[in-house]
Amino acid sequence: MLVLGPIGFTAPWLLLGLVLLPVLWILLRAVPPAPIRRLFPAVTLLLGLEDEESETDKTPWWLLLLRTLAIAAVILGFAGPILNPDSREDFGSGPLLVLLDGTWADARDWPRRLDRVEALLDEAARAGRPVAVATLTDPAPGAPQFQPAESWSARLPNLEPKPWSPDDAAVSAWLDGLGNDGFETFWMSDGLAQPWRATLLAGLESRGEVRVFESPRPIAVLRPARFDAGTLILSGARAAPGEATEFTVAAHGLDPAGTPRVLARIPLRFDQGATEAETEVSLPPELRNRITRFAIEGTRSAGAVSLADDTLRRREVALVASRDDREGLELLSPTHYLEQALEPTADLIEGSFDDILLANPDALILADVATLSPAEQAALLDWVEKGGLLVRFAGPRLAASDVSRDVEDPLMPVRLRAGGRSVGGAMSWGEPKALRPFGPDSPFFGLDVPGEVTISAQLMAQPDPQLSERTIASLADGTPLVTRKRIEDGQVVLFHTTANAEWSSLPLSGLFVQMLERLAISTRPTLPTLEEMAGTTWTPNQILTAFGDIEDAGVFPGVPGEDLVDATPGPDLLPGLYAGEDRRIALNVIGADTAITAASWPARIPVEGLAVQRETPLKGACLTAALIALMIDVIASLWIAGRLFGPRSGAAAILLTLAFAMPAPPAAAQDSDDAFALAATHEVVLAHVVTGDDRLDALAQAGLLGLSEILFERTSVEPSDPIAVDLETDELAFFPILYWPVSPEQPIPSDQAYAKLNTYLRSGGMIVFDTRDADVARYGTSTPAGRRLQQLAASLDIPPLEPVPEDHVLTRTFYLLKDFPGRFISPDVWVEAAPADAERVEGMPFRNLNDNVTPVVVGGNDWASAWAIDDAGRPMYPVGRGFAGERQREIAYRFGVNLIMHVLTGNYKSDQVHVPALLDRLGQ
Amino acid sequence: MIHPADLRARAEALTGPLPPLLAAAEHLATTVLLGEHGRRRPGLGDEFWQYRPARPGDEHRMVDWRRSARSDAHYVREKEWQAAQSVVIWPDNAQAMRFASSKDLPTKALSARIIALATAVLLIRGGERVGLTDLELPPRSGPLQLLRLAEALSREDEALDYGAPETRGMPAHSRAVFLSDFLGDIAPVEHALTRAADKGVKGAILQILDPQEEAFPFDGRTIFESVGGTLSHETRKARDLRDRYLDRLAARKDVLQSLARTTGWQYHCHHTDRPGTAALLWLYQALERIH
């Protein structure tokens, strides 16, 4: 190898080719560019003109230089130039063991470690030494397999750090298996002190020389977040004390839309010389409940990630009581004691059933609620089946009702006897009953039963076969006090007494709080103990990789609960999130008291950094430069010859484009969804539902087109052309109104389509159903279209309807209307019913009606036919006869205008009834 | 080969926007056939000229009774003397005209023919007699002549590299239109124009050039060849020739202009990338301007 300064050549003889360059110069210089032949009638005018310069028939000097340089670069490239050639002759000899710790602490600069190993392998390959590569976290059993370095190079990318540290036993087992042959060792240490390091070092030194590599980057880790007196404490540690440093800890979690994002960034500051840091995190409870993990930003290591589990969560509990008419008696309120018991440890939700189930609480408590509507019952059952916990308390209403009397109610654990019983009251013999100690099968097992807790009234259960297995707490006489039934993933628990102190003193005692806690209604503040965990099985939900990434656990087997108590992660117990029966536990790489200390090495061991000067072959760069120079030469030559621009340059330009066409990524196909969304949103657009009947769809399209034209002419609403909407595929949210002509043949939409429609209706959309049969039928099920409408609308979330009342806002949003004709005149047009308590205030022309846009308008007047126009703007269908018919068409258009105005402006016109009052107030 | 019907259709389309062309009639002693050119004097014709008091010798039937009834005297209605004029056209058919610098442009020859025929359409619509300068097609009027003209113009004959105007078929005191690129030898053009002036023929020269001939957008080593291949010129740096070429082109235009001026003709330069209407409009005005 020839070495010139920092560059060496592997084939220096090729450099002799550079001598030929001057010859090439002269040769190229002698060849002028070829002429172009052109037809040109005005050549007569050119005859006799002489060229001014005689030099231009030679190639210009700069083009020659470019070509010469290109050739020179080719010669240099093939001569094999290498930057920083390694001219060391001595690469050592004998077998070489490259040992990596392979722990989570290695992960932060794993690629650089692999680079260093690759450099070692290159050296070994040049010296012909056999090499073995081993990681301590994932050691191959037996003595290391020494193989040629090349075979290891291909396997390097397979090496991966593991999210745990090897333990003593594993390391000494591996050391024992090493055999007695001597070898040299390069030890890539992760830089943390470990109890087994000294032993391993001694063992390796006995077999040969040991060199140690360590990354100079400091190690910082995050300990699990914990609650201390109500505040969330985040703490971190670093291996070596040093300068004051500030890290940013990101709190990851799901936002309300379910998208993973960083919910908060918290600064974590290490003071100078300190190895531990702590900071308080103040976050709103909703935000805190959503946190799934903390991670130090900018560090890719499992040590810098701390998974959050249920200990950080406050459970959401919804309370629903029967309607309470007794105002002011706070202590008698069915939920008072529940609120007192749950407030410190859980977030309480109150509201209507729909709202509560949308909030998806962890537990729902029904205090003396007897009857539920079928829809509520179905929704509740669905929620329970998906893992909800429903807790019901008895009370006078439940006792008086027939719920679960003859047949077991799906939302009741047992059948109940009528009336209940009273013990120890003023009108009964006997004493109030105490509780029997809890049996071992009960979730309350182990709780002390205070003697003062007595029950004076309870609901009795029918003696069914499953009663005993469903009873989890009973009175001293054996009658059940708490029963439980599992429904798929969820459960229903019934307390056979009240949640207030009317029937028992249980809510007054501490036992009540503990029972709620055991039922996982309230949050358990501490980690479970060994006894609690015994015999349970926990399945991993998410697994933490050494790089700090979260992966789905997939098919990892469950682990026994005992292992999770005070556990450190290892090959059998991956760090991650484990789910048990009713809670989740996070197993982090770094525990609350994992020691983090920098490794210390004896003075005799040389410790090197990761940096190494690598050889860089320049062959590729040289050849690329030559290629680029030749490309420039192509352009320059064309330019010199006058073929780049001007006439007849087409072919050259095409060639150039081809030559320089970069492998551009294929233009992303225009997303049709985006196009649809743009078309639907850049203007107000009316839409109709595609019914599958081409003629009907065309009619609806023409009708909406006519209405759009009228709106454009008469109002400030300027819609663009109407759009046909396919319920199955298109997004509905863009449209203020959907016109849905009903035909008897229309197929029923799919469940997904109905889900979309219901979302659309709930979020303020309006559907106009038109059965188009008002000429033959009054609104109802008497026609095929009417029957079809009933089937279509059965799954829709439609409120109670009523015929349009005289003072409905539809009658005056733009025009004052009395009736709503289309091609037919029928008074039967139905809209959302006004609330029952809407009353006409004295002096007001209209009632103060509901504050919404009616989600549906149902009628049969065939409005689209009355609105429809053809391409020339003429009406497509006759309406009525003569002038009266045209008047009817006009009123139909007016109804359409009112309808669109109602959709777009809501009850704005309804609010105008307040104008006199407002003016009056302004006047003062 | 252009189909005659196609050529005529395109020419008719070009004349659409213009009113029938009425070429000015000067002293045309020899051409006495009736046409629609008022001679500004009473005579035979269709157009009303004046009422004059009836003189002895006028026949009774010549008296305009309607006019006479409004006064006491008798009046005779006189009509304007109208005469038609002969126009001969020379569209250059040389090979040099069969050149177009781009596929999107018509060749110079095609431009020349369309403009020529359009002029003929206008003239014939105005009642003039139109012919070609060679003896093949003497001036005649009527739509049939248009067909003959279209037929003759559509012919692609063997031709020289550069053309020279033909003056044999040019009646004295008629009108003439020369359409060519005038890039060949200027001497025959000069000769033809002086001969025409001798015969009392006046007219218009329309020089038709390709935009490339006007711009000379060439560069690098180039061999220029005439369309017929008889002439060629090699240059090593075409860009250097540009200025001198443009000077020569301007000089050629000057020569044509001064020739036209001395012989009482009109000169105009048309480029094939411009719409033919402009050239036709100019021809229309040029033929009217001649008095």
Instruction: Give this complex's ipTM.
Output: 0.73
Angle B39-B43-B49 from CA coordinates, rounded to 5°: 75
A670, pLDDT greater than 70 = no
Nearest CA in chain B to A34: B221
**Please, is A206 exposed, middle or buried when counting C-beta atoms within 10 Å of its C-beta (0-12, 13-18, 19+)?**
exposed
Contacts of B101 in chain A (CB under 8 A): 647
Phi, psi (degrees; rounded to nearest 5) at A592: -65, -30
CB pair distance less than 8 Å for A642 and B218: yes
- Tell me: the pLDDT tens digits for A372-426? 777 788 888 888 888 788 889 888 778 877 778 888 888 888 888 877 777 765 6
Which residues lie across from A277 on neighbouring strands? A236
pLDDT of residue A667: 41
Phi, psi (degrees; rounded to nearest 5) at B238: -60, -30
CB atoms within 10 A of CB A812: 18
pLDDT of residue A665: 43
CA separation for the pair A909, A899 (Å, rounded): 12
CB pair distance less than 8 Å for A49 and B235: yes
Mean pLDDT of A45-64: 71
Which residues lie across from A367 on neighbouring strands? A321, A393
Q: What is the DSSP letter of A239?
A: S
Q: Per DSSP, which regions of A310-467 are E strands?
A: 315-321, 346-349, 363-367, 389-393, 421-422, 433-434, 454-455, 457-458
CB pair distance less than 8 Å for A641 and B220: yes
- Nearby residues of B190 by Cβ (< 8 Å), 6 or more positions away: B259
Least confident of A298-312, A493-507, A711-725: A298-312
The model's pTM is: 0.41
Q: What is the DSSP letter of A763?
A: T
Q: What is the DSSP letter of A475?
A: B
> A38: distance to nearest CA of chain B, Å?
5
**Please, is A491 exposed, middle or buried when counting C-beta atoms within 10 Å of its C-beta (0-12, 13-18, 19+)?**
buried
CB B155 within 8 A of CB B50: no
A3, pLDDT greater than 50 = yes
CB A813 within 8 A of CB A820: no
CA separation for the pair A298, A196 (Å, rounded): 30
Which of A385, A443, A393 lies closest to A410 in space, CA to CA? A385
Angle A423-A425-A430 from CA coordinates, rounded to 5°: 50
CA separation for the pair B235, A52 (Å, rounded): 10
Nearest CA in chain A to B108: A41
A34 close contact with B: CB closer than 8 A? yes
- Tell me: the pLDDT tens digits for B218-237? 877 788 888 888 888 888 77
CA separation for the pair A590, A599 (Å, rounded): 17
Domain A676-914 coded CATH 3.40.50.12140: yes
Helix (H, G, I), strand (E, B) or coil at B110: helix
* Common-topology check for domains A316-518 and A676-914: yes
Mean pLDDT of A643-672: 56
Residues 640-659 of A with CB under 8 A from B: 640-643, 645-647
Which of A180, A187, A181 lies closest to A94 in space, CA to CA? A181
Q: List b or e across A119-128, with b for residues whose CB sees 16 or more CB atoms inside 10 angstroms.
A: bbbbbbbebe
Question: Which amino acid, B2?
Answer: I
Give the domain ranges of chain A: 1-32+57-85+615-646, 96-218+598-613, 238-314+525-589, 316-518, 676-914
How many residue pairs from chains A and B have C-beta atoms closer than 8 A? 114
pLDDT of residue B41: 63
Helix (H, G, I), strand (E, B) or coil at A227: strand
Question: Which amino acid, A183?
Answer: F
**Please, is A216 exposed, middle or buried when counting C-beta atoms within 10 Å of its C-beta (0-12, 13-18, 19+)?**
exposed
CB atoms within 10 A of CB A266: 18
Nearest beta carbon to residue A642 from set B210, B219, B244: B219
Helix (H, G, I), strand (E, B) or coil at B135: coil
**pLDDT classification of A891: cutoffs 50, 70, 90:** very high
Q: Per DSSP, which regions of A726-783 are E strands?
A: 737-741, 766-770
The proportion of chain A whose per-residue pLDDT surpasses 90, expressed as a percent, equals: 6
CA separation for the pair A471, A480 (Å, rounded): 6
User: Strand A480-487 relative to strand A471-474: parallel, antiparallel, unpaired?
Assistant: antiparallel
Contacts of A42 in chain B (CB under 8 A): 181, 183, 213, 245, 249
Mean pLDDT of B100-126: 83
Domains of chain B, CATH where assigned: 4-30+85-289 (3.40.50.410), 37-83 (no CATH)
**Please, is A672 exposed, middle or buried when counting C-beta atoms within 10 Å of its C-beta (0-12, 13-18, 19+)?**
exposed
Q: List b or e across A789-802, with b for residues whose CB sees 16 or more CB atoms inside 10 angstroms.
A: beebbeebebeebe
Mean pLDDT of all residues in chain A?
80
> A650: distance to nearest CA of chain B, Å?
12
A316-518: CATH number: 3.40.50.880
**pLDDT classification of A892: cutoffs 50, 70, 90:** very high
Q: Which of A454-463, A746-755, A797-806, B204-213 has the highest mean pLDDT?
A: B204-213
Domain A96-218+598-613 CATH (choose: 3.40.50.410, 3.40.50.300, 3.90.1150.10, 3.90.1640.10)? 3.40.50.410
- Tell me: the pLDDT tens digits for A817-856? 888 888 888 888 888 887 666 666 666 666 666 566 788 8
Q: Rounded to the nearest 10 degrees, what angle do helices A619-640 and A650-660 cross at?
A: 170
- Nearby residues of A668 by Cβ (< 8 Å), 6 or more positions away: none
CB pair distance less than 8 Å for A49 and B245: yes
Distances (CA, A) of A552 to A107, A179, A548, A576, A578: 19, 39, 13, 10, 12
A210, pLDDT greater than 50 = yes
CB pair distance less than 8 Å for A646 and B218: yes
CB pair distance less than 8 Å for B226 and A43: yes
CB A913 within 8 A of CB A844: yes
**pLDDT classification of A616: cutoffs 50, 70, 90:** confident
pLDDT of residue A650: 58
